[in-house]
Structure 1
Amino acid sequence: MNHIVRTLEIPDARLHYEVRGEGPLLVLVGAPMDARSFAAAAELLATDHTVLTTDPRGINRSPLHDPGQDSTPGLRADDLSRLITHLDAGPAAVFGSSGGAVTALALAIASPEQVHTVIAHEPPLVETLADRERLHAGTEDQIATYLAGDVVGAWTKFMAQANIAMPQEVIEMMFGGERDPQQVADERRWFAHELRGTVRWQPDLAALRSVRTRVVVGIGEDSTGQICDRTSTALAAALGIEPTMFPGGHIGFADDPDRFAPRLREVLREN
């Protein structure tokens, strides 16, 4: 199977992207998750799709000219638009997870002619929730804690607010001690320049209801009670659609791609 790895120069960054397979274009995107997180699922889906994955701006192999620039859903959506135009293979189906789901929704609003289907898997759209001010305050505390140097403390607060059950010793093992420098750099960028803009993004619900793009809101079967279950359920209700369930939890596509890819293919075939 062909696997092309290239870069695209844009005015303020150099975007790393990868293309696998042949067939209709399918984009798999995260934020801050990079192309590596989708590699296993991309291999499975590339048997009948051209699959595009990318490192979001400022993350890993997609350096910014100005490293201090914030990452917003609008900027990331413009990056996807440029990549789809560059490949000349659209309109595309876009599967976005977490912050990537917010990117995909922003793309559907800004460039609906480029995307026929958006599957927004667990977008952390805190603005859809009644307790958003409390949650925004929690996010600001997480960012401040991280930037003050307490990495484990920041992640402990993040997991607690997300209602993701994770033993403290696991958090300390994952985020304490010696770590990969690139992982640390991407993590710092996410806390400092990406998290706030993603969770505070307010979707244009009227636009999402009116675009010709098919919008699907996905939730992991194991995510019940987590913050992204709540935000996804609220978004689906606001759009007047039922959520679509997927195997696993927040990153089911990475944890169990053998189950996730067939379900995604099934959802793509639905009208």
Structure 2
Amino acid sequence: MTDPHYDITGHGPVLLLIPGGAGHPMGLDPVTDALSAHFTVVTYDPLGLAHGRLGEPVEDQRVRDWSDGARRVLDATLPEGESAYVFGTSAGAIAALDLLTRHAERLRHVVAHEPPCVGVLPDGTRQQAAFREVCEVYRTKGLAAGGARMTAVLEEREAGELPEGQPLSREEELASPMALSLAHVIGPFTSYVPEAGPSRARLTVAAGTDSRGHLLYRTAECLAKTQQADFVEFPGGHLGILQHSAAYAHLLTRTFLGTDSRS
């Protein structure tokens, strides 16, 4: 078992960030810089893609492996007797939910932003099948077609005519975090259904304001009900953390520390 990959910035209580997609933390520097005024921000890189492993072989991912890696990151960074704040988005939010299920004793408060655990929905079986179709479109028609099909699934609309394309070579796939996500993360992670019921640590489920009427907003609302968790809206859509970094960091800080915190 290799050592987990992570970066640390800032001072204060530990806040573990688990990125989405294939776990590559690209684009997160503005939000981690803002959060570092209040937290010791630990950014977890599950596949080590930002730590020299982009281009190396990747197999189908398991939620449990990501959350076990997150626990080992906390073992290495969390002072004895303290508990951590955790934020996960998209696939990272699913890892955060599994971490909460199996290692709640290390956690204080988890915010899960738009986790694609669509199995919690009344039509969850159909939605899981839609994500499997996304993966198949990617495998047969390439990255642009797979991305277009996934956008249609997330927006709960017909895909229309997909872009023409060819399957990526293995070398091309291993060089692209988005391709790795479609090839090895989306399928197994959207099959994950978190255990229902309250935890010893607090859970807040989040969705973006621009995601209203979309699949993952509906999923977040349903998950908050089944988990007896708080529900909060964040700026932007599914990628709001990248598109509205300052506002996102401010609201995340308020969610964790209360309304008296200042950005």
Q: TM-score scaled to structure 2, two decimals? A: 0.85
Query: Unpaired runs of 5+ in structure 1?
Result: 1-10
SS at match of 2:27: helix
Separation of aligned partners in 2, 1:63 and 1:95 = 23
With over 3 angstroms needed to count, the CA separation of the structure-2 counterparts of 1:192 and 1:58, relative to structure 1, is: farther
Q: How does 1:101-250 map to 2 (within 5 A)?
A: 101-163=93-155, 184-206=175-197, 209=198, 211-250=199-238
Separation of aligned partners in 1, 2:88 and 2:131 = 22
With over 3 angstroms needed to count, the CA separation of the structure-2 counterparts of 1:183 and 1:70, relative to structure 1, is: closer
**1:128–1:234 contact (8 Å) kept in structure 2:** yes
Separation of aligned partners in 1, 2:156 and 2:39 = 33
**1:55–1:62 contact (8 Å) kept in structure 2:** no
CA RMSD of aligned residues (A): 2.9
2:45: which partner in 1?
A: 55
1:17: which partner in 2?
A: 6
Query: Unpaired runs of 5+ in structure 2?
Result: none
Aligned residues: 250
- Supply the AA of the counterpart residue of 1:124: P
Separation of aligned partners in 1, 2:12 and 2:230 = 29
**1:41–1:257 contact (8 Å) kept in structure 2:** yes
Q: TM-score scaled to structure 1, two decimals? A: 0.82
Q: What do residues 5-30 of structure 1 show as CA deviations (whole Å, max 9, x unaligned)?
A: xxxxxx0x453311001110011112
| Shift, 1:261, TM fit | 0.9
Q: Percent identity?
A: 26
| Shift, 1:141, TM fit | 1.7
| Shift, 1:46, TM fit | 0.5
**1:60–1:186 contact (8 Å) kept in structure 2:** no
SS at match of 1:54: strand
With over 3 angstroms needed to count, the CA separation of the structure-2 counterparts of 1:227 and 1:238, relative to structure 1, is: same
**2:62–2:189 contact (8 Å) kept in structure 1:** yes
More displaced stretch, 29-38 vs 123-132: 29-38
| Shift, 1:241, TM fit | 3.5
